Amino acid sequence: MPGSNLTRIEAEERKAVIEAPIHYHVDLDLTVGAKNFGSKSFICFNAKPGSSTFLDLIADEVTSIDLNGKSLDPAVAFQDNRIELTDLKEKNEVTVEARCRYSNTGEGLHRSVDPSDGNIYLYSQFEVPDARRVYAVFDQPDLKATFDFKVLAPDSWIVTSNMPVATIEDDPRETLDGTLGDKPNESTRLWDFEPTPVMSSYLTAICAGPYAEWHTEYLNEDGRTVPMAQYCRQSLAKAFAKDVDYLFDITKKGFAFYAKTWGVPYPYAKFDQIYVPEYNAGAMENIGMVTIRDSYVFESKVTDALAERRVVTVLHELAHMWFGDYVTMKWWNDLWLNESFAEFTSTLATAEATEWHDAWATFCSGEKSWALRQDQLPTTHPIVAPINDLNDTYVNFDGITYAKGASVLKQLAFYVGRTQFFEGIHNYLNRHAYSNATLADLLSELEKTSGRDLKAWSAKWLEESGINTIATGLTVNADGTIAELKLTQSAPAEHPVLRPHRLAVGFYNEDAATGKIVRTEQFELDVDGETTIVEAAAGKPRPAFVLVNDDDLTYTKIRFDAESQAFAEANLHRFDDALARAVTWLAFWDMTRDGEFPAERFVDMTLRLLATETESTTFRYALACMSTTAHHYVAPARRDDVLRHVAAELWTLANAAEAGSDTQFQLVTAYLGYGEEGDAAFAANAHGLLDGTVRLEGLEIDNNFTWTIVQALTSVNEMTNDDVDAQLAKKETTENREFAYGARASMATAEAKEWAWDQALHNDELTNSQLEAVARGFSATPRPDLAEPFAAKYFETVDWVWANKTYHMAEALLNGLYPGYADPATLVKLGDAWLDEHIAADNALKRLIVENVASSHRTLKVREYNEAL
């Protein structure tokens, strides 16, 4: 398949032709207009004489191609986003000059204009394969090369890249007309960067604009002084300045933790972190210059969960400097190893090197719940997923690649021993430094250090799909002691593999002095096969609660014995340990969405937990899952009553919460999501919060929270488009424009939904973030009557979206516009019919649709369970 979707076979064939060394000289001209930029690539590479291959390039125009001194006709050589190279020599030189396009979709070289001051900011995003949107390149991870970058930019801008600046020269050629720079007739400067080490093209990066900047340095463990910098938009500089020292400190703690844990000092010349607007992901591990979404610059109050997530994100990207950058996958089938390892070790570093000591509870509630959901979809796949082409890669940035993989690596470290695990990582990094490696290379090193045969382990854990369930069974003697504690492992019929687990079983009882539920004993053991007896438990007094997978050491679903389940349902809010609460709550949520635990009892249990829960991420996910349960899983006849009950309880809890606390903030935010048109009390509370006539002590109505209230009011038709426009006029910023789009789209009228649908699909001027805000607002109104008209329309539009949008925008549209509040039976019927008619569709497209339709299948099944109670 030619064009932008590179297949694995094509990549292997190109790798067989192209030989090291490969070197790029890339010149970018950012002064030619608001739509395009100039790109020139001069590439030196070796090849098999007489062979042919191709370069990747997505460009509006290719003006010249020169191969080994011979000029090629671009109209002939440049087709389907590829440049054909034939009759190669042993040593080759190719020069490509092109005019490429800035994006507003967060792909390639993104251009953003800040409406608050008119400043223009550029940043690159090249994963999976979007370096080709900026320069001609062999864009696959195993064709590592060295790179020289030169960038011509307006004089008032700064330019950053992977390496330190070598020189900055005034450029006398032409002055600008003011369309790019901040000043009329602005002169230009040429930024020349030091050559990079050997690296993959998707890790190269360029950022440019009048960014605010802060600098410090780190004394590296190898004796080098590593320059460090942080950047953000000028309009965010005042807010960011409050956090810069803290973020530098977190990063330095990460440097020290990783160097000590792996025995490999930070390998690169510098380390920058640049917070950029309208970013599709959380962050990207470009070598020496990490890009991070600037919603992590906190101008308004945020939850502790988000503040902790920022720390984990910083440490996640820093971990990639070793795992993913220093040693890189050969092909995208090992993407999971990059992401899982960074997710596992960043959580470990957060828990052990920062003040966020409950990071593993955060991981369980947030990341692991994502993994469990993903792993129970029809689209589940092995951790080592088959990646046949780039489209397969796009859809594998998922809960299995990140969260399940991280859980399994946590299990692997416990299985082989932490010391042996990290000794193996040390050897792996040193053996494959600056090159590409595979999972087999890693397992080989871990086998040497641990003495365990990991081939069978890998076959079951990494190469098979699905998740196991471990259920607890107790036989108790007449005197109350345990006769037998039995663990029974099962697997779903479609993925019938039983895995070996190294785990812990915890006994929990009430502490008479405090009234808290605390762990009183713990047993570590190996679980393998269908049945395992916990021998050490025999003769012990039966505890109030038995928790299999105590400390969350393995990846599994769990089911309790009847007495333990009843005790936990009544007393979860009294559990003293944050991780034990998270593991237990996740099991109840899993039972609820499997149709094994009544939805209304889950709602009431969650409300009790919210009265005392202190771990912010568990709190956040408990609120979210309770909302899903109340809106989708309860019996339809009971839905309205349950929603009103939840709203009333949330408002009561919010008024009782500590003034200014994270708990208060989350509760009020959640309450504002339960508005109902015609509910006078809700409207009065929301209007009162906005105008100050309703006050909760310590609750600050700052910019972002104001927009939360505005959207709550638009969603029940208590504010108009004119009201939204007036609110935006008070402070028009990048973020507030997105909030305004979301507020307009969330209005509970048919006209508003039609407008949002049309804007999301057809307004090409929307940025990626604005498009996502419109889509979220469109689907956020929990009214079946407003969603129903779009059920058939959605499936009629799918093919057009896939054919006309980039992958990231197609994903945002097909997920964001799915009318999930429509009748699930209708969605299931239409969705199954679409899938039957599109057997030959691209796998990546089918996967997006399958997952949305699967959520409707589950809703239907769980509703039926609750209706039958």
Two structure tokens written together for 31 = 């002064």
Q: Which residue among 285, 308, 317, 445 is the active-site one?
A: 317
Q: Are strands 146-154 and 158-161 parallel, antiparallel or unpaired?
A: unpaired
CB 365 within 8 Å of CB 585: yes
Q: What does DSSP assign to residue 549? A: T
Q: Tokens 């990140």 label which residue?
A: 402
Q: Tokens 């949002």 label which residue?
A: 756
Count CB neighbours of 2 within 10 A.
Answer: 12
Residue 504's closest CA among 471, 548, 442?
548
Two structure tokens written together for 701 = 């109505």
Strand ranges across the sheet with 225-232: 212-219, 225-232, 271-276, 289-293, 283-284
Residue 699's closest CA among 684, 685, 678?
685
Q: C-alpha angle 487/491/495, rounded to 5°?
A: 160
- What does the DSSP assignment read for 580-641? HHHHHHHHHHHHHHTTSS-HHHHHHHHHHHHTT---HHHHHHHHHHHHHIIIIIS-HHHHHH
Two structure tokens written together for 796 = 């009629």
CB 709 within 8 Å of CB 672: yes
Q: C-alpha angle 648/651/655, rounded to 5°?
A: 140
Q: Are strands 557-559 and 469-476 parallel, antiparallel or unpaired?
A: parallel
Task: In whole angstroms, give the CA distance from residue 262 to residue 320.
Answer: 13
Give residue 210's identity as a one-letter amino acid code: P
Backbone CA torsion sign across 705, 281, 319, 394: positive
With 0-12 / 13-18 / 19 or more C-beta atoms within 10 angstroms meaning exposed / middle / buried, residue 614 is: middle
Q: What does DSSP assign to residue 715? A: T
Strand ranges across the sheet with 70-72: 70-72, 61-67, 91-101, 36-47, 18-29, 146-154, 188-193, 165-171
Task: In whole angstroms, give the CA distance from residue 797 to residue 792.
Answer: 9
Count CB neighbours of 433 within 10 A.
Answer: 15
Q: Which long-range contacts (CB under 8 A, 24 or more apart) does 587-590 make?
A: 587/557, 587/558, 587/559, 587/560, 589/369, 589/625, 590/372, 590/557
Is residue 317 part of the annotated active site? The answer reads: yes
Q: Which long-range contacts (CB under 8 A, 24 or more apart) does 491-498 make?
A: 491/466, 492/466, 492/467, 494/466, 495/380, 495/464, 495/465, 495/466, 495/467, 497/460, 497/464, 497/466, 497/468, 498/460, 498/468, 498/528, 498/529, 498/530
Alpha helices per DSSP H over 329-481 = 335-353, 359-362, 369-375, 390-394, 405-416, 418-431, 439-450, 454-461
- What does the DSSP assignment read for 64-104? EEEETTEEE-HHHHEETTEEEE-S--SEEEEEEEEEEE-BS
The H or E element that residue 520 is part of is strand 517-527
- What does the DSSP assignment read for 169-237? EEE-S----SSSSSSTT--EEEEEEPPP-SB-GGG--EEEES-EEEEEEEE-TTS-EEEEEEEE-GGGH
Q: Helices H, strands E: what count in the chain?
A: 30, 29
Task: In whole angstroms, give the CA distance from residue 817 to residue 811.
Answer: 10
Task: In whole angstroms, give the CA distance from residue 355 to residue 537.
Answer: 35
Residue 584's closest CA among 547, 628, 626, 629?
547
Catalogue the active-site residues: 317
